Structure 1
Amino acid sequence: MQFNKVTENIIKQLEAILGKANVVVDEEKMEMYSRDETSDKLWEKMPEVVIKPENAQQIAEVVKLANRELIPITPRGGGSGLAAGAVPLHGGMVLSLEKMNKILEIDKENLFMVLEPGVTTGDVQKEAKELNLFYAGDPCSAESSFIGGNVATNAGGNKAIKYGVTGRHVYGLEVVMPDGEIVVYGGKNVKDVTFYDMVHLMVGSEGTLGIITKIWLKLMPLPQYVADLLVPFPDMQSAIKVVPKIMTAGIIPTAVEFMDSLSIKAAELYLNKKLPFSDAGAYIICEVDGNTELQIQEDYETIGKLCKENGALEVFVADNISTQDRIWKSRKAYAEALRMLSPVYCMEDIVVPIANIPAALDAIEKIAAKFDCKIPSAGHAGDGNIHATILREDRDEHAWHDLKDVVLAEIYDAVYALDGNLSGEHGIGAKRISAMYKHMTEGQKKVLRTVKEAFDPNNIMNPGKVVLLGTIAES
């Protein structure tokens, strides 16, 4: 697909639609929009213009212009993604949703929040909590990620075991389609099978099928009691093997997370604080919640007993906000902590069936030994989602790319051999598209291409992400 450049005439038309203040062409100001949190410079590309619309009508006019002139649009939320999904690989426009940041309604009777995509996930959680309500989406990047980005990637998070990923809480969307038409799918009905489930086709589509401009999020009553457990184990395998036992013990925990020894040490260094049993081979972090203190106590005692019977060194229980925050700080600081070990790294997002996590981690450990590199792992043990991170350390750029390519190929092969997949919550973006296509069938590729071409025949919506079209090789 051949795209056109953004000309002075296009800039003038954008300024007429958005106002001059919302059209950025200064390179210094655009530089931050050339990347997301993916640390490798391979995934950086300068946009030709950054635009900051304030409403859906403005976006609709911009999309009509882009379609008419064949100019690519890269929608962008908070820029906290880890798959180069918001990087303008083909230049054109970056459409930042940062000014569409209003909570429009909190409907306590129907338990819904209606809001724009530029609200941070942390603010969604805080606003709900102030009304004794609960939004269960809880990515580690909650303070910086936008809810629109969470929806666009179907983000997971720490509470996904009990409450599901973002898509479970999305009941309605307003979307600017690739032809510029504004369409609403769903709303406040909790049951609706009137036609195709367009809401959940858009959820996780990473801006390739349209631009989300309004979201209907389902809330629930705030759990009255929460308890967290920090459980150190002597080694990774004994820690991870206890997870299926927890998951089949008649309890539905809110979270079951894990960290290996490298991750624990990195978090300790980053936080500049001694962690309990920081010499342990691994941590398991569990959370339970509910509406009676007795239920919570029974749940965490059951989990603690299972852990002790299966080799845990100790079981720390936190049942107040201060100590809970201390437990979660080490896990939520994982990505930032790794930057202290290696400013450039490749964080993966693989997912396998829960019972296959021990085999996946064993395979990763063997791959690290084979190529003499460090691959710390942490993640969401309760839903099989492993964040294995290849560290560049002191390798030069050429050696780094050679290493990364062969290590990733072996990790992905191992994951697919274990009935897994290459992304559980970060999305495909540009970073994983080639690997995804390698492991897809021709039938799967055809379906992806058919959907994309039906919605966006000119391929202006976030081209080069999730779906490959045009003359680019598809295998």
Structure 2
Amino acid sequence: MTDLFSYNKITAEIAEEIRKKIGANNVSTDEEKLESYSHDEVPQSNYGRKYIAELLVFPESTQHVSEIMKIAHDERIPVTPRGAGTGLSSGALPVFGGIVMSFEKMNRIIELDEDNLTITVEPGVVTAEISRMASRHDLLYAGDPCSGDASFIGGNIAENAGGNKVIKYGATGAQLLALEAVLADGSVTWFGGKRRKDVTGLDFVHLMAGSEGILAVITKAVLKLLPLPRHSVDLLAAFPDARSAINFVPRIVTEGGLIPASVEFMDDKALKLVEKYLNASVPAGDAGAALIIQLEGNDEERLEEQFEAIGKLSQRHGAYEVYVADTRSTKERIWQARKGVPEALSAFYSRYTKEDLVVPTASVPKLLEMLRGETEPYGLEYITYGHAGDGNMHCTIVCPECDNWHDRLHAAQQRIYAKLIKMGGTLSGEHGIGYKRRGYMKFFLDDAQIELIKRVKLAFDPQNILNPGKLVDWGK
């Protein structure tokens, strides 16, 4: 495999050739910019060294991306596609230097097709902009990651981001109908179309979702839209402890007879931390755990009946208080608490790792108990929040003050992952593997499947120049 990781450096001549193709204003070798764009939300300090790109490019069109990839292919230069940098797996880390390709200038909403209920966008569009554009036409884009106010749709697709509404609508991949992609040699192709059914050939559209930029570069996406529900309401249910909160989640469906749009969870430590971060009280801030339950519908009276029924049901199952948010300001207050947790963690801790664990929904209580048992012996603490409705828990392991942080963390992770597997769980639900988690893939996938991933990668990219070093460990 040695030849697969042998790359050439970017010479002054190569840089100049790229400038001629895409414009000098779209190319940078500024050291501060290179460092700033050479990572995502995972601190480079996690790796004991910095990985810095040699060249930063800002394509403005598919043609620009194609020209860059042709040069990179001919010169054997690694290319790392980058969205908004909100990723949590070091997916934007240029492990072998080369080119970082940022998509902030490819930020156009190309078309909203009301007849076919689709929206076509470039990869640098901020996800929340897609939602806002759709809502102005009384339509819904159902992809809703908590980072939606900052993340780019291209990054959402690359990681198959989930977010708040997976329980009802599915992850980003479920919203995809078609993609324009530039392959490693610079050729341009379309996968899929506006069709709702298509078995002509292989389903490359959904292979691309979650492929983390190792197969091709996404330059356009056609996303499906839905009618916008006329009314919605958010309930914040305060429980005495995490177990009673999590145990209530399946009751919403089995006893309440409803599929909510969202069911979000915050433990007591997350609630207290976000209050400190916001410097303000939050609803249910003194709870042992809290659930945000979002319901939506077109019949206002029927929706009122439903949220009253779910509120009473939650109280029968241990909730001691239920807050109802049915105005814009009250909804924002509830969601500000949930969306503020990741920022609060980054603000108050320097030694932490954000895990993205997934188990079958019925196993979430067992997961939370397991985390306590496997972190405390190493002097570590944990804070949990996340998507209770689909079993995806964001567990952040922190070490406020301790020596040998990495040793303690790795020891705890190996024990956590071993027990996670026995629960039918897996390593990541939406944040991706990237460079951060690639060494742990061997615990979750057998050799045959890892080898298959490598073969698919090389079928798309024989020279291994697209985001190399990610997803699986090649021994490099």
Q: For the superposition of Structure 1 and Structure 2, which TM-score range results when normalised by the shorter chain?
A: over 0.9
Question: Normalization by structure 2: what TM-score?
Answer: 0.96
Q: What residue is the counterpart of 2:167 in the other structure?
A: 161
Partner of 1:318: 325
* Contact kept in structure 2, 1:50 and 1:94, CA below 8 Å: yes
Checking the alignment, whether the CA contact within 8 Å between 2:89 and 2:432 is kept in structure 1 is yes
Q: In 2, are the aligned partners of 1:40 and 1:346 still within 8 Å (CA)?
A: no
Moved more, 402-411 or 213-222: 402-411
Match for 1:181 among 164, 179, 187? 187
Question: Cα offset for 1:17?
Answer: 1.1
Do residues 226 (structure 1) and 266 (structure 2) align? Answer: no
What aligned pairs does 1:288-367 form with structure 2 within 5 A after superposition?
288-367=295-374
Instruction: Give structure 1 stretches of 5+ with no counterpart.
Output: none
CA contact (8 A) 1:171 1:188 kept: yes
CA distance in 1 between counterparts of 2:383 and 2:43 reads 16
Paired residue for 1:433, among 425, 432, 438?
Answer: 438
Q: Which residue of 2 aligns with 1:172?
A: 178
**Contact 1:263–1:377, Cα closer than 8 Å, also in 2:** yes
Distance 1:442 1:247 in 2: 38
Q: Give the Å deviation of 1:158.
A: 0.6
Query: What residue number does 1:35 align with?
Result: 39
C-alpha offsets along residues 4-26 of structure 1, whole Å, 9 cap, x if unaligned?
11111111111111111111101
Q: Deviations over 1:83-133 (max 9, x none)?
A: 000110111000111110000101111111111000000111111111111
Amino acid at match of 2:409: K
| Residues 405/286 of structure 1: CA separation in 2 closer, same or farther (3 Å cut) | same
Q: Percent identity?
A: 47
**2:29 corresponds to:** 25
Q: Distance in 1 between matches of 2:325 and 2:68?
A: 50
The partner residue of 1:146 within 131, 142, 152 is 152
Amino acid at match of 1:66: A
Give the equivalent residue in structure 2 for 1:420: 425
Find the counterpart in structure 1 of residue 13 from structure 2. Answer: 9
AA matched with 1:167 = G
Equivalent residue letter for 2:250: P
Answer yes or no: is 1:63 the counterpart of 2:65. no
Q: Please report the RMSD computed on the Cα atoms of aligned residues, expressed in angstroms.
A: 1.2
**Alpha-carbon distance in structure 2 between the residues aligned to 1:149 and 1:299:** 35
Which residue identity is paired with 2:110?
L
Cα distance in 1 for partners of 2:268, 2:347 equals 15
Q: Deviations over 1:439-470 (max 9, x none)?
A: 3111111211110111111100000111344x
1:203 aligned partner, one-letter code: A
Contact 1:308 1:314 in 2 (8 A): yes
Q: 1:409 corresponds to which residue?
A: 414
| CA deviation string 1:44-74 (max 9, x = no partner) | 4111110111111111111111111111000
Counterpart in the other structure of 1:466? 471
| 1:110-157 Cα shifts (integer Å, max 9, x gaps) | 111111000000111111111111111111111110000001110001
2:84 alignment partner, one of 78, 86, 99: 78
Q: Partners of 1:209 and 1:340 in 2: how far apart?
A: 34
| Amino acid of the structure 2 residue aligned with 1:172 | A
Confirm whether residue 248 of structure 1 aligns to residue 254 of structure 2. Answer: yes
Instruction: Tell me, yes or no, if the aligned pair for 1:60 and 1:180 is still in contact at 8 Å.
Output: yes
Whole-Å separation in 2 of the counterparts to 1:323 and 1:461:
45
Shift of 1:311: 1.0
| Residues 283 and 334, structure 2, Cα contact 8 Å, conserved in 1 | no
2:172 is matched by which residue type in structure 1? T
AA aligned to 2:369 is: D
1:446 matched to which residue of 2?
A: 451
- Per-residue CA deviations over 1:212-242 (Å, capped at 9, x if unaligned) read 0000011111110101000111111111111
Residue range with higher mean Cα deviation, 37-46 or 232-241:
37-46
Number of residue pairs matched by the alignment: 469
Contact 1:162/1:254 (8 A) holds in 2:
yes
Q: Residue 315 of structure 1 aligns to a residue in which SS?
A: strand
Distance in 2 separating the partners of 1:467 and 1:70: 21
Matched to 1:432, the amino acid is R
Query: Which amino acid in 2 is paired with 1:444?
Result: Q
Question: In 2, Cα distance between the equivalents of 1:55 and 1:276?
Answer: 45
Match of 1:235 in 2: 241
Q: Secondary structure at the match of 2:365?
A: helix
> Residue type matched to 2:102 in 1?
S
Q: 1:204, CA displacement in angstroms?
A: 0.8
Contact kept? 1:207, 1:461, Cα under 8 Å: yes
Q: Secondary structure at the match of 2:85?
A: coil
1:309-347 deviation line (CA, Å, top 9, x unaligned) = 111111111111111111111001110011233134210
For the residues of structure 2 that align with 1:10 and 1:391, how far apart are their CA atoms? 44
Distance in 2 (alpha carbons) for counterparts of 1:443 and 1:150? 28
